[in-house]
Amino acid sequence: MPGRSLWKTVLVLVLVNAAIVIAAGAWLWWRYFGPLPPDQALRTRFSEHRADFDSLAIIACADSELVVVVRTPNGFSVFVRHTPTSNRRLSEMEVAASGRTAYRRLLGRAGLPRISRTADARMVWFRLKKSGAGEKGIIYSEKPLAPLVPTLDGLEHTVAGQGASAYVSLAPRWFLFLEPGE
């Protein structure tokens, strides 16, 4: 019967689409609301990609206009200070002409989604995971950071309740950070 075959095909398509939607929802939930990575995972990433982290910190600190570099599914975006009160996204041609393509290569090698820096270039943030509990990553800072704690693991709710960040020393000028969630 041709009618029965059509219904079976429609049912299969509906079930496949439902499975895709459920899988995408689970992935999004894990990405944005899942647990923050443990300190050891961040320490391992830092030690395995130390040269890339060092290179990124050096070029980001020297890049006086840099605000943030973000890897996206379509490539990456570089935002620079346009005026004292606004930023702008560079075009691909501007990125290439300014020599900022090194960010793409280094971010990719280190598996980093984004970096940002303070206006005074004394701190570079390597933000690795954000969830409702807060944000965790690695930071390069030319100034001492406090409070220093032995571990950030398990502090998500404590830090969020206090509204303050916490840090773990990795190496001279390098720290793990945990910022409270919103």
Cis? peptide before 147, omega within 30° of 0: yes
- pTM score, whole prediction: 0.76
Q: What domain count does the chain have? A: 1
- Beta-carbon-side half-sphere exposure of residue 132 (alpha carbons within 13 Å): 5
Q: Helix, strand, or coil here: 114?
A: strand
The string of pLDDT tens digits covering residues 69-109 is 998 877 889 999 988 888 999 999 999 999 899 999 999 99
Mean residue pLDDT of the chain comes to 83
Q: Does some domain include residue 12?
A: no
Q: Which domain holds residue 59?
A: 37-180
Q: Does some domain include residue 3?
A: no
Q: Does some domain include residue 50?
A: yes
pLDDT at 66 over 60: yes
Q: Please tell me the predicted confidence (pLDDT) of residue 80.
A: 93
**Residue 65: exposure state from Cβ atoms within 10 A (0-12, 13-18, ≥19):** middle
Torsion sign, CA atoms 70, 71, 72, 75: positive
Q: Does some domain include residue 67?
A: yes
